[in-house]
Amino acid sequence: MKKGFTLVELLAVIAILAILVIIALPNVMGMFNTAKQNSFNTEVKEIYKTAQQKWIMNNMSGAASNVIFRRVNGKYQYYDTDNREWKETSDAKLMLDLTGRTQLDFRIEFDSAGKVTSYKASDGTFYYASGNVNDLKVEDIGATGKGFTGKWADTDKLPYCTSSEKCEVDTFLDSSSVNPLAR
């Protein structure tokens, strides 16, 4: 008598395994995406804390107290009020000492009292926008009703993006139209 499995038995095992994969895959992918979004939220909070520390250091040394920290495509920028445009900078007072992913773009704005009045960040997959706030706290980031977090692919649903085009990072960071996410 021959030992082994028949073709029908092998096909039955393969079918059962395929059904298990179909059932389990969405759960595994959901956990993976949740972990990625949680990682993004953690990085957004770390940038917030680092920017706050930098504002305190700059303020103690007598630097300008109204500050906007902005990084797009890994390059820090400042707003040239004479030419009304963003320009790259290597000024250490406008750069944050960050570790982690370098592709995270952000804009965080402080008033003269050191309160965060606007904060937007994106890594190309996820985005965070605080909207207009008087004093954003780190615990507000990611909290329900305390800003907007979502997938970058859904930015066409944001009030200042038209459905026919996705927002670019510059548009997202500098939007000033009247909406909850406006600067």
What's CA 123's distance to the chain center, in Å? 5
pLDDT of residue 169: 55
pLDDT of residue 38: 84
Question: What's this model's pTM, rounded to 2 decimal places?
Answer: 0.69
pLDDT of residue 15: 96
pLDDT of residue 101: 62
Residues of the chain with pLDDT under 70: 1, 63-66, 81, 100-102, 131-134, 142-183
pLDDT of residue 126: 81
Count CA within 13 A, CB hemisphere, residue 121.
Answer: 26
Q: What are phi and psi of 25, to 5 degrees?
A: -60, -45
Asked if 179 contacts 159 with a C-beta cutoff of 8 angstroms, the reply is yes
pLDDT of residue 72: 82
- Quote the CA–CA distance of 105 and 142 in Å, as a whole number: 17
Query: By three-state DSSP, how is residue 65 classified?
Result: coil
